[in-house]
């Protein structure tokens, strides 16, 4: 079994890290580069930055964030939000990002995944999927019971979350960042049913996102959800858990994790 990666997620709006519940009611959580540098020192394996309010229309703000982060952070980081073209991806990767994450633009034009993968390699492309359980008011329920949402979770699509993940893999995505909108910010734990369904149906790493509240949630993301990486936000941003605590807990339950090396 490969080592499970622990990944803090920094949702960025107007140059600040924010966190909410079910994608709304956002509160300020600090400066993104300062937090990123802190997580690097604390032993995070990777970082994810998501421009959640499409302020990426002003791309220079995001490019500046990547430049600053590349100067202070020595672990891989992914950036997503508003990436619509190979040119967008190229500049972010050249500024220092390890990977780019695509969501809405990929749903609107799936060949974007293949274009970025062909130019930079599959390992640089993360397909972000925001999924929600079908409800009674859904016009056309999806086969897996989970639908795909875009535009920061505001717009439903007709896509089935599992089928879209499979298509993303075929098109060249190297990883899937799978967020449960139902669990996001609730601290009720990962949606392991969703995670397991996508993990079973695909052959690329699945990053679990949405719902972490305690240490057991991390463990269940691996044992019940079959996730390859575990992403969390508020429990790290507000000091409820540390990277070291999570890794020690997982290690004590026979889950392989990368050692935490403190840098001065």
14 flagged as catalytic: no
Q: Which of 45, 130, 217, 228 is catalytic?
A: 130
Contacts of 71 (CB under 8 A, 6+ apart): 96
Query: 3-class DSSP state for residue 120?
Result: helix
CA 39 – CA 46 distance, rounded (Å): 9
CA 92 – CA 99 distance, rounded (Å): 9
Query: 3-class DSSP state for residue 40?
Result: helix
CA-based nearest residue to 233, from 211, 205, 255: 211
Q: What phi and psi values does residue 136 have, to the nearest 5 degrees?
A: -60, -25
CA-based nearest residue to 79, from 87, 71, 95: 95
Contact 80, 127 (CB under 8 A): no
Q: Which two tokens stand for residue 136?
A: 């009674």
160 flagged as catalytic: no
How do beta strands 47-51 and 5-13 pair?
A: parallel
Catalytic residues: 11, 130
């Amino acid at each position: 079994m490969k080592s499970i990666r622990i990944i803090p997620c920094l949702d960025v709006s107007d140059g600040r890290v924010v966190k909410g519940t079910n994608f709304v009611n956002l509160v300020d959580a600090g400066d993104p580069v300062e937090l990123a540098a802190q997580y690097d020192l604390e032993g995070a394996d990777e970082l994810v930055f998501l421009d959640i309010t499409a302020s990426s229309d002003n791309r220079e703000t995001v490019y500046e964030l990547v430049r600053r982060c590349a100067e202070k952070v020595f672990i891989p980081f992914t950036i997503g939000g508003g990436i619509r073209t190979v040119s967008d991806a190229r500049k972010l990767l050249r500024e220092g990002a390890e990977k780019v994450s695509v969501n809405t633009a990929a749903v609107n034009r799936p060949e974007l995944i293949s274009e970025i993968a062909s130019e930079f390699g599959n390992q640089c492309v993360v397909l972000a999927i925001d999924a929600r359980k079908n409800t009674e008011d859904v016009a056309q329920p999806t086969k897996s019971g989970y639908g795909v949402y875009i535009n920061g979770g505001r717009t439903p699509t007709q896509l089935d979350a599992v089928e879209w993940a499979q298509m993303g893999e075929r098109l060249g995505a190297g990883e899937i960042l799978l967020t449960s909108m139902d669990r996001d910010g609730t601290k009720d734990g990962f949606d392991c049913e969703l995670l397991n369904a996508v993990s079973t149906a695909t052959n690329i790493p699945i990053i679990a996102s949405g719902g972490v509240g305690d240490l057991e949630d991390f463990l269940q993301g691996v044992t019940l959800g079959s996730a390859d990486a575990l992403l969390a936000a508020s429990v790290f941003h507000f000091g409820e858990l540390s990277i070291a605590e999570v890794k020690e807990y997982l290690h004590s339950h026979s889950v392989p994790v990368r050692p935490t090396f403190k840098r001065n």
